[in-house]
A and B are shown apart, each in its own frame.
Chain A
């Protein structure tokens, strides 16, 4: 099992200096394997989030393929790709990503609810507790702070029990203690559950939790020595 990017790139049409397009991600290949934590660093605007969205099946690359095992994500029909993402790829996006009208608990169970499935008993409670937000389980999401929303999104991704977990700035709104807590939870996912873990961040501390580290500069992927 692996998540593989084969020569993917993303161009946006936009009139720049010489060309009439802007290359957010230059052609690159990357293989993510279970059991290891891959960290991607880089300044804002360097193409990190674009790469993460392409890897997670949310954004069709301009060229290249993304393979989950041997399945080409962007060769699937919408219904199959949606189901695959629901069952096998969990994403923690930037910014607010909770449904405001639902409570924390309902948000966390939402991915399963979409397909009428039940979460294993105690699974949701376990992650709320591990992330320190168990007291908020019945609070409406619109009343949460940025850090609480962030951890809600992480809990939601964990309850999906995905094969691949892709997180975009998972520690963005968190204090130092919660940053370490979150990163170690993510590392456990790779080490104990043998999952693919991919973290996009500009937090240098994340490197300590990484097996594999990359950085992006102007759309190009470079290894961190």
Chain B
């Protein structure tokens, strides 16, 4: 037996009291850890969206209730299909202030090779594209060949697998790093592949608004990079107000602002929630420890009687609290990690915002900080108790009844 064994015994021999405290501290660390990881994931989702969009303006047909439709494709991975005349591309490219313009054609497939999942297939013009290919290049050094596709990180196929789309075997040659956005569920192919897929679909009797005949005449979106020195606002306004084009424009900057507003909303809700949990827990902990002070007065008087110093009694209380916080803290973090990492996709779709889990190092840091925060809270709540119990009036407590 050693002096260190006493706090341990006090905890294990009062399992009810100990578990109640452990559960309470588990709530503390759970709220802090889970809340922080969610907010951090939203922040890194926003950063990746900023990095990934790569264009200043995105032009889509006015018919497509544009902004929401398009943002849903981008943010939530819903599938969408809207088209405009391909001839607009050259006109847009020639417009004043436009440096680069690259077309994309969207195809929402009815069925891929698994259950009723639809795929968002996006055809890119590999000569003009400047937004997707830099990301494909991270994974594959060459252009996409016939039927070859690059997949977002949320598609479970890896490089070397094949996706079956309308009975066509499409080899996956590149896998994009995660963005936390709807782009992660997209499948990218060349414009030529897009045409092949449409022909295959028609053979199967599936018809889309875009067909193999008009595939070269329609596009879904034009990604525009504004020339240096030109104003993005002005270019956007002039594109949108063109009398015959009937297009809508999405400014990526305003989209990012929308997202970051959403993020700020979620972040403040999370903060309020954490604050409420902590305030409530702190009050409960204070009450519990105050009750313990009374219950344990005699025990501490006995310890004083046999020669325990005040200091060692304070240490005893703080050690017990520390052990409780450590156990509760780890439990809370484990539960938080299980829920957050297992249900990432669900959280992402529930929030409707770009959501990208940060790397392991950052998460470990958050876990350690949550643990420290919980321990600090426990120490604060028990400090008063430790003070009072270390100053028990040994004499009078020992004579108080039996």
Please state if A78 and B306 are interface contacts (CB–CB under 8 Å).
no
State whether the Cβ of B384 lies closer than 8 Å to any Cβ in chain A: no
Task: Please name all residues of chain B whose beta carbon is closer than 8 Å to the beta carbon of A95 when the two chains form the complex.
Answer: 398-402
Please state if B398 and A97 are interface contacts (CB–CB under 8 Å).
yes
Task: Please name all residues of chain B whose beta carbon is closer than 8 Å to the beta carbon of A91 when the two chains form the complex.
Answer: 305-306
A49-B10 in contact given A58-B394, A99-B302, A114-B303 (Cβ < 8 Å): no
State whether the Cβ of A82 lies closer than 8 Å to any Cβ in chain B: yes
Chain A: which residue is nearest B5 at the CB level?
A113
Please state if A116 and B3 are interface contacts (CB–CB under 8 Å).
yes
How far in angstroms is the closest Cβ of chain A from B319? 13
Please state if B307 and A85 are interface contacts (CB–CB under 8 Å).
yes
Please state if A59 and B395 are interface contacts (CB–CB under 8 Å).
yes
CB-CB contacts below 8 Å: B15-72 with A: none
How far in angstroms is the closest Cβ of chain A from B187? 64
State whether the Cβ of B175 lies closer than 8 Å to any Cβ in chain A: no
CB-CB contacts below 8 Å: A60-91 with B: 78-79, 82-87, 90-91
Please state if A93 and B305 are interface contacts (CB–CB under 8 Å).
yes
Please state if B401 and A114 are interface contacts (CB–CB under 8 Å).
no
State whether the Cβ of A151 lies closer than 8 Å to any Cβ in chain B: no
Task: Please name all residues of chain A whose beta carbon is closer than 8 Å to the beta carbon of B306 when the two chains form the complex.
Answer: 85-86, 90-91, 110-111, 114, 156, 160
Task: Please name all residues of chain B whose beta carbon is closer than 8 Å to the beta carbon of A79 when the two chains form the complex.
Answer: 309, 311
Task: Please name all residues of chain A whose beta carbon is closer than 8 Å to the beta carbon of B402 when the two chains form the complex.
Answer: 94-96, 146
**Residue in B2, B311, B395 whose CB lies within 8 Å of A113:** B2
Task: Please name all residues of chain B whose beta carbon is closer than 8 Å to the beta carbon of A160 when the two chains form the complex.
Answer: 306
Task: Please name all residues of chain A whose beta carbon is closer than 8 Å to the beta carbon of B394 when the two chains form the complex.
Answer: 53, 58-59
In the complex the two chains form, what is the Cα distance from A91 to B302 in whole Å? 10
State whether the Cβ of B298 lies closer than 8 Å to any Cβ in chain A: yes
Q: Count of B residues near A, CB < 8 Å?
A: 29
State whether the Cβ of A98 lies closer than 8 Å to any Cβ in chain B: yes
Chain B: which residue is nearest A83 at the CB level?
B307
State whether the Cβ of B279 lies closer than 8 Å to any Cβ in chain A: no
CB-CB contacts below 8 Å: B295-339 with A: 298-299, 302-312
CB-CB contacts below 8 Å: A89-139 with B: 90-91, 93-102, 106, 109-111, 113-116
In the complex the two chains form, what is the Cα distance from A160 to B306 in whole Å? 9
In the complex the two chains form, what is the Cα distance from A96 to B297 in whole Å? 12
In the complex the two chains form, what is the Cα distance from A50 to B6 in whole Å? 30
In the complex the two chains form, what is the Cα distance from A114 to B305 in whole Å? 12
In the complex the two chains form, what is the Cα distance from A140 to B13 in whole Å? 10
Task: Please name all residues of chain A whose beta carbon is closer than 8 Å to the beta carbon of B305 when the two chains form the complex.
Answer: 58, 91, 93, 97
CB-CB contacts below 8 Å: A26-68 with B: 49-50, 53, 58-59
Interface string of B359-402 (1 = CB under 8 A from A): 00000000000000000000000000000000000110011111
Task: Please name all residues of chain B whose beta carbon is closer than 8 Å to the beta carbon of A140 when the two chains form the complex.
Answer: 13
Task: Please name all residues of chain B whose beta carbon is closer than 8 Å to the beta carbon of A84 when the two chains form the complex.
Answer: 307
In the complex the two chains form, what is the Cα distance from A83 to B311 in whole Å? 12
Known pairs A86-B308, A98-B302, A114-B303 / 16 extra A-B pairs, C-beta < 8 Å: A58-B304, A59-B394, A82-B304, A84-B307, A91-B306, A93-B399, A94-B398, A95-B398, A96-B402, A97-B305, A101-B9, A102-B13, A109-B1, A110-B6, A113-B2, A114-B308
- Where the two chains meet, the residues of B that have a C-beta atom closer than 8 Å to any C-beta of A are 1-3, 5-6, 9-10, 13-14, 298-299, 302-312, 394-395, 398-402
| 14 A-B contacts (beta carbon < 8 Å) | A79-B311, A82-B308, A82-B309, A82-B310, A83-B309, A84-B307, A86-B306, A90-B306, A91-B305, A93-B399, A95-B400, A101-B14, A113-B5, A114-B307
